[in-house]
Amino acid sequence: MSGSFKSFGFIQLFILYILFLSSCISSSKVRYLQGNKDSLQTKINIAKVEYPVQNGDNLYIKFSSTEPVTNQVFSPDVYMPNTLGLESKYKDVYIVDNQGNVNLPQMGKFHVGNYHIQQIKDSIELNIQKYFKQTSVDVRLADNYMTILGEVNRSGRYLFDFRDKVTIFELIGMAGDFTYEADRKEVKLLRKLGNETILVTLDLTKKDVLNSPYYYVFPNDVVMVDPLKAVTFGTKSIPVATTLALILSLTTSILVIISYLK
């Protein structure tokens, strides 16, 4: 019986050792933006990518003028009907219809679909200043949501108001960072532009991600984070460390039973 317990102890220690090794995740798998350690300062040219306005987006368009009469013409006290219930939150919000147009006061339908925010701003100002001098326009996205799912501390849908894009690290920060076992090397980003849906994979451990056109997260993007290690049983994925702990517990029980039966 003592021999059985010696064998049991050896097996238990061996499994514990394997469990310890498997549960250790190297720092290279969890550190962001890894690169040359010899350089104290790195200059990186971040890709300039602009969000093309889509059908269904909500645009905040505010006209400002030094003339009070002009302000009343373009920003009347009565809410426009095309704000579709957003008037309780914003006064100057216009929804982009299925043809990519917004219905502006005194201007009628104005096409904005697939144009960038700055392009829309410049185009509206160019048209409006033909009739109203000293008038400027502020154009931004309103009710701008992005989603992050999977191995993060607070998965969900997040609001970034008045911004047409944020960095993927800002979204991760809103979600309370990744969990320890998150796979930072294969982060999936799902993006819908017009009738196309794009799925890309990003390696956030490399500095090269800063040069990626997907470094900025657009409205309605979905970021999905898988676990770093997993063993699949049926339809459920369980981390390796948890799996080995279950195996250790089961093995211990079996060996104890065998030792008492001898």
d(CA 205, CA 189): 15
Indicate yes or no: pTM above 0.75: no
Tell me the per-residue pLDDT of 52-104, one tens digit each, with 9 for 90 and over. 999 999 999 988 877 776 666 666 554 444 544 445 456 788 999 999 999 98
Fold of domain 30-47+145-225: Outer membrane lipoprotein wza fold like (3.10.560)
Q: Which of 249, 245, 241 is nearest to 24 (CA)?
A: 241
Q: Could you tell me the fold of the domain covering 58-142? A: wza like fold (3.30.1950)
Write the DSSP symbol of residue 187.
E
Dihedral sign computed on CA atoms, order 184, 222, 158, 155: negative
Dump strand ranges (E) for the chain: 58-65, 93-95, 101-104, 108-111, 135-142, 145-150, 156-159, 166-167, 187-193, 196-202, 216-217, 222-225, 231-233, 236-238
Identical fold between 30-47+145-225 and 58-142: no
Radius of gyration of the chain (CA): 28
Domain ranges of the chain: 2-25+234-261, 30-47+145-225, 58-142
Q: Do the Cβ atoms of 62 and 226 come closer than 8 Å?
A: no
Q: Residue 234: its pLDDT value, please?
A: 42
Tell me the residue type at 21.
L
pLDDT for 117-139, tens place per residue? 999 999 999 998 887 778 889 99
